[in-house]
Amino acid sequence: MNPTHANHVFLIGQVIQTWTYSDDRICRVAMQRTSFQAPGQVSDLVNIVIPGAVKRGIVVKKGDTLHVSGFVRNEDRETPLSKLTKIKLPGELKNLKIKQIVTQVYASSWQLVS
């Protein structure tokens, strides 16, 4: 018997950063933790992919509130070390590629509240 799995996410959060990747707009979103959780970090962060947003001219700004329904997906990437740091690297390290497993929420529907 196969177990049933559910991969559906609903979240509301504040946009703290945006960038593009191909035709997609990616938003880093902060979600305030519920009051009954242990003290410590006051918010959780997640990256949201809005597919095709660049091609459609959709703009998301820092400070916007984003309501998202979607699913979690992982992607394996090889990223140059120079893109992961702000310090100047010696020549042999600039093009060194680091394997990353990136977990994101892929938005199937979303609403922007400015």
| Domains of the chain, each with CATH number or no CATH | 9-74+104-113 (2.40.50.140)
Encode pLDDT of 8-26 as tens digits: 999 999 999 999 988 999 9
CA gap 102, 110 in Å, rounded: 21
> Percentage of the chain with pLDDT > 90?
51
pLDDT digits (tens, 9 = 90+) for 41-70: 677 899 999 999 999 999 999 999 999 999
Average predicted confidence (pLDDT) for the chain: 87
pLDDT per residue over 101-113, tens digit each? 888 999 999 998 8
DSSP state of 11: E
How many whole angstroms separate alpha carbon 80 and alpha carbon 114?
Answer: 34
Confidence of residue 38 (pLDDT cuts 50, 70, 90): low
CA distance 104 to 84: 18
